[in-house]
């Protein structure tokens, strides 16, 4: 079951007329900023993971623009993916955080790579997983065709129950076959995100956001960086993680067996342990 964490909520101005919702979960150590993937609210970071990280760190998660309780206005005020990286810095500023350990999943891993280049002075460490290198490689495998077909339905009209069913099926494919799929847990997660957001439609703005300015060179990186390999990831399958680690100077590669492109309860603890081992080594 999902627990309800008691955190401090904040609304952060990131651009004229644009605000993002953020939540701080108190903890004893240096702050950890969690940066979620495309079109995913901050509550997609499961409480099981956040609770474990909060045993050692002050943890902050937030809703990207056009997700959760943040401003939904892409059609009126379009932005680029790189602007979402600037939003992460604005969240740190709002909580008066000079430096943080930053963790990014999927698109969040892209944003963390941008932070490594543009704002290394704001990072104690970086952890990225289920993401691709900003340097790219045309020979690496692409997403599972079944996912591509499902993504073609992203903006189709659905009522609430149909939308829940679609999201659960999406998680089923993302979860992969490495660990048993907990359908009830993912359905409860999405019900909670709908309640948090006050919306039942599937966010889709990030797929339309401009992607210019994303090609970066991390061969001179100075921030301790952990790359986590998810061997069952249907979006960025192996050897994406190994390639990513090879493009970031000094990066460490750790494999979590059974992990796909999701954080089910069975993997929250090993994922937390990998992150905490990295932050402890840096500290």
Catalytic positions, written as ranges: 106, 233, 261
Sheet with 252-255, edge to edge strand ranges: 8-15, 18-25, 58-62, 31-35, 100-105, 123-129, 225-229, 252-255
Residues 61 and 41: their CA atoms lie apart, in Å, by 9
Please state, in angstroms and as integers, the Cα–Cα distance from residue 204 to each residue in 72, 164, 176, following that order: 10, 15, 22
Are the C-beta atoms of 76 and 7 separated by less than 8 Å? Answer: no
Radius of gyration of the chain (CA): 17
Across the chain, where does the E strand assignment appear? 8-15, 18-25, 31-35, 58-62, 100-105, 123-129, 225-229, 252-255
Are the C-beta atoms of 15 and 77 separated by less than 8 Å? Answer: yes
* Torsion angle of C-alpha atoms 189, 64, 67, 19, degrees rounded to 10: 130
SS (H, E, C) 121-161: HHEEEEEEECCCCCCCCCCCCCCCHHHHHHHCCCCCCCCHH
């Amino acid at each position: 079951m999902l627990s309800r964490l008691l955190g401090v909520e904040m609304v952060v101005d990131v651009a004229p007329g644009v605000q993002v919702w953020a939540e701080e979960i108190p903890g004893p150590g240096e702050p950890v900023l969690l940066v979620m993937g495309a079109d995913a609210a901050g509550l997609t970071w499961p409480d099981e993971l956040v609770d474990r990280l909060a045993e050692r760190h002050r943890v902050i998660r937030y809703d990207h623009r056009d997700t959760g309780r943040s401003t939904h206005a892409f059609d009126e005020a379009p932005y680029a993916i790189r602007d979402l990286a600037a939003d992460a810095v604005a969240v740190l500023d709002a909580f008066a955080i000079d430096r943080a350990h930053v963790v990014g999943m999927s698109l969040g891993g892209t944003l963390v790579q941008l932070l490594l280049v543009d704002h290394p002075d704001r990072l104690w460490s970086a952890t990225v997983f289920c993401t691709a290198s900003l340097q790219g490689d045309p020979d690496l495998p692409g997403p599972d065709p079944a996912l591509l077909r499902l993504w073609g339905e992203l903006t189709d009209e659905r009522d609430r129950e149909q939308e829940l069913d679609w999201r659960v099926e999406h998680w089923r494919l993302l979860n992969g076959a490495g660990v048993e799929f907990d359908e009830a847990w993912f359905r409860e997660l999405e019900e909670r995100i709908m309640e948090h957001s006050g919306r039942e439609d599937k966010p889709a703005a990030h797929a339309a956001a401009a992607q210019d300015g994303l090609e970066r060179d991390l061969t001179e990186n100075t921030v301790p960086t952990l790359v986590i390999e998810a061997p069952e990831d249907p979006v960025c399958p192996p050897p994406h993680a190994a390639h990513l680690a090879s493009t970031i100077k000094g990066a460490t590669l750790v494999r979590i067996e059974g992990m796909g492109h999701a954080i089910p309860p069975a993997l929250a603890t090993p994922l937390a342990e990998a992150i905490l081992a990295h932050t402890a080594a840096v500290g």
